[in-house]
A = this chain, B = another copy of it.
Amino acid sequence: MLSKPENERFRRQVEFIIEIDKVKHIFRQTPLLNKSRKENDAEHSWHLASMVTVLGEYAPEGTDLSRVLKMVLIHDLVEIDAGDTYLFDEAAAADKDEREQKAAERIFGILPEDTGAGLMSLWHEFEERKTCEARFAALMDRFQPFLHNIETEGISWQEHGIRRSQVLGRIKPALEEFPLFLDFLVKNVDAAVEKGWLKPD
């Protein structure tokens, strides 16, 4: 910028806003629904947050949806440094936590200390999947790419030779306590195997 804010707190906030523009270049394996290209983390995070605004009624009683919104908005910022780890890539998963923790420290560290610590803690909460907010955020994070696969003839599954048991193993746990979503998953996985989009086991 040509003239930086004199106010130190505001300057750091603006710097953070500029930094996170980079997630618009972090591409995931999930295709857009018109199959024209893969989606990036900013689009994915927006989609999850929008889903929270229309699916909030399925969250466990007492869930603070505004915390879920914040969680899904910031959950992939660490990928600016750590890159996207494909859900079914077991090799890359090995050092994922370490890479992402380092990234979180740098990126949230740009912010004023109190705000940065708040987002760091929210990101850890998301990763740990223990609170009802984190479990509902995880539901969104698993359901959206599944829906994209089902709507695009399983392009990314076919590209990576994914099997039925991998999808169920990695996605089903997050859907277990949400009956409508679980039913949708199971029926569509079976149908996808029949269509040849997913390998049987």
Give the residue of B14, B69, B180, B184 whose beta carbon is less than 8 angstroms from that of A3: B184
Task: Give the total of A residues in contact with B, Cβ under 8 Å.
Answer: 55
Copies in the complex: 2
Task: Point out the residues of chain B lying under 8 angstroms from A144, CB to CB.
Answer: 17
Q: Does A166 make an interface contact (CB < 8 A)?
A: no
Instruction: Give complex CA distance A40, B25 in Å.
Output: 12
User: Are A3 and B191 within 8 A (Cβ)?
Assistant: yes
Within 8 A of B (CB), among A8-46: 10, 13-14, 16-18, 20-22, 24-25, 32-34, 36, 39-40, 42-43, 45-46
User: Are A50 and B20 within 8 A (Cβ)?
Assistant: yes
User: Are B54 and A73 within 8 A (Cβ)?
Assistant: no
Q: Does A187 make an interface contact (CB < 8 A)?
A: yes
Min distance, Cβ A157 to any Cβ of chain B, angstroms: 13
